[in-house]
Structure 1
Amino acid sequence: MTGIARFHGRTALITGGASGIGAAVCRRFVDEGARVAIADIDLEAAQALAASIGGRSAVAIRLDVTRPDEWVAATEQAVAFGGGLDVLHHNAGRTEAAPIDGTPDAWSAQLDLNLGSAFLAVKATLPALVRSTDAAIVFTSSIHAVQGFPGVPAYAAAKAGMVGLARQLAVDLAGRVRVNTVAPGVVETEAWAALDDSVRRSWRETSPAGRATTPENVAATVAFLASADAQGITGQTVVVDSGASIWGRAGS
């Protein structure tokens, strides 16, 4: 428990909210007083999280973030649940290999999921967001947007595009909606737990802090950027990687 209620009376729509970073963000926002719409392609997982959080504070919504019609429906459900919409945290995405000598379809699929969905997110939610007195959008990009890694050029291009989109939206929506991005490094999600101990140890050694980042670390950053405490911040990208990238070793 944080002991603060920065989001009392506010409603947040969080995509990819059923697990990992998204679930931590949902818990953080509810802890700080928000009503949260947990949007995820896995409706059962979203429902389980909503039940664990408390039905009055959270609702589960099925959302395939690549489908414009589902975005419209999800936004309508979130607004109906919360009485409006104040925060969009677009977190859904997935890393898959799409090498430069791969197929155009594989490349397009990664861009549609990891960048095109951000366009659909803003298009669907903006009419509701601009009615808020303190609206904020926070995208989950990636350390891939700012530092090179082998084998994932499509994902890196998409996440870098998301950073550029956030900057442009910060200009276009100035005075109405603040738009920022978090760029996590290696995060201790469910996928992290499945790795071999030696792999996890190697990743920890890339950080000056000697550890990987937790979902809660990212959630705290998202909550700050979406809160009134960050009213002077828009168009920015915050790297959350326990310092790995300052050593230039985040991808080693």
Structure 2
Amino acid sequence: MRLAGRTAIVTGGGSGFGAGIARRFAAEGARVMVADIDAAAAGRVADAIGGIACAADVADAASVAAMAEAARAAFGAIDILVNNAGITHLPAPLEEVSEADFDRVLAVNCKSVYLTARALVGAMKARRRGVILNVASTAGISPRPRLNWYNASKGWMITATKTMAVELAPFAVRVNAICPVAGETPLLARFLGEDTPEMRARFLATIPIGRFSTPEDMGNAALFLCSDEASMITGVALEVDGGRCI
């Protein structure tokens, strides 16, 4: 029960890594808000873990503000924020990615971190307590061709994590990131371009440990970084990637 008495918001918590993190947090005693643009998916996960669901578009300021207010109304104070919601564009030459796709990737993967910080950091600073976890990617450390603007958005998130950590450390607020390699999530097919045995085999050949990451892997890493066991850790981008970035 490493998170007993804690409260948490997990964005993109209706599926994939976010659902794995929400489940792990709840199993360790946290009260969890599962936020997702897919309200039904958020509801299913929240019901399964005894949490609360919130329909939220993390790229929209009003939606994020409403999410934060709903969490405060339900929990009082927020101890943990997990910025997990993310999207990618389909693999393509960098100059052929549409402007609309570029804008959406940057809004969901980058602007969302600013919006949630604007909505929640002030209260964390005032309480001198809080943990923020950004779900970045190995793509931000070791980029792949044809996912250029997605790679860049995750590199941005890693830098944002470090600068947030430096600024918020005097207020006892920690900020870290995890960097998953691709896993069995709804985004996998978009990363691969086409989900075929051949494409999977080609991708797996780049992961020394020989398998995709799982929501449980991310839940375990997130639990550690958001628990008191990691009280001296801030500003790190932890690779949870089976050796992909070596």
Settle same-fold status: TM greater than 0.5.
yes
- Aligned residue type for 1:130: K
How many Å separate the matches in 2 of 1:109 and 1:21? 20
- 23, 32, 37: which is aligned to 2:33? 37
Deviations 1:27-49 (A, max 9, x none): 00000000000000000111111
- 46, 71, 76: which is aligned to 1:78? 71
- 147, 154, 161: which is aligned to 1:152? 147
Does structure 1 residue 59 correspond to structure 2 residue 55? no
Deviations 1:92-135 (A, max 9, x none): 01011474324444322221121111111111111232344541
How many Å separate the matches in 2 of 1:86 and 1:191? 28
Provide the residue aligned with 1:195 in structure 2: 195
- Aligned residue type for 1:69: A
The answer to whether the 8 A contact 2:21-2:219 is kept is yes
The answer to whether the 8 A contact 2:20-2:219 is kept is yes
Provide the residue aligned with 1:130 in structure 2: 125
- Aligned residue type for 1:101: E
Q: CA deviation at 1:76?
A: 1.1
How many Å separate the matches in 1 of 2:186 and 2:86? 15
In structure 2, list runs of 5 or more residues that go unmatched.
none
Change (3 A) 1:53 1:40: same
Q: How does 1:110-129 map to 2 (within 5 A)?
A: 110-129=105-124
Deviations 1:210-230 (A, max 9, x none): 212111111111111111111
Q: CA deviation at 1:190?
A: 4.2
SS at match of 1:73: helix
How many Å separate the matches in 2 of 1:242 and 1:216? 14
SS at match of 1:206: coil
Instruction: Kindly tell me the number of residue pairs found equivalent between the two proteins.
Output: 239
Deviations 1:185-229 (A, max 9, x none): 121224558933333333333222221211111111111111111
The answer to whether the 8 A contact 2:207-2:244 is kept is yes
TM-score, normalisation: structure 1? 0.89
Q: Percent identity?
A: 37
Q: Please report the RMSD computed on the Cα atoms of aligned residues, expressed in angstroms.
A: 1.8
- Aligned residue type for 2:72: V
SS at match of 2:8: strand
In structure 1, list runs of 5 or more residues that go unmatched.
247-252
How many Å separate the matches in 1 of 2:108 and 2:178? 17
The answer to whether the 8 A contact 1:87-1:129 is kept is no
Change (3 A) 1:152 1:197: closer
The answer to whether the 8 A contact 1:85-1:132 is kept is no
- Aligned residue type for 1:38: V
Q: How does 1:199-210 map to 2 (within 5 A)?
A: 199-210=199-210
How many Å separate the matches in 1 of 2:177 and 2:242? 17
- Aligned residue type for 2:205: E
How many Å separate the matches in 1 of 2:29 and 2:188? 29
- 104, 112, 136: which is aligned to 1:109? 104
Provide the residue aligned with 2:85 in structure 1: 92
TM-score, normalisation: structure 2? 0.91
SS at match of 1:47: helix
More divergent stretch after superposition (107-116 vs 130-139)? 130-139
Provide the residue aligned with 1:182 in structure 2: 178
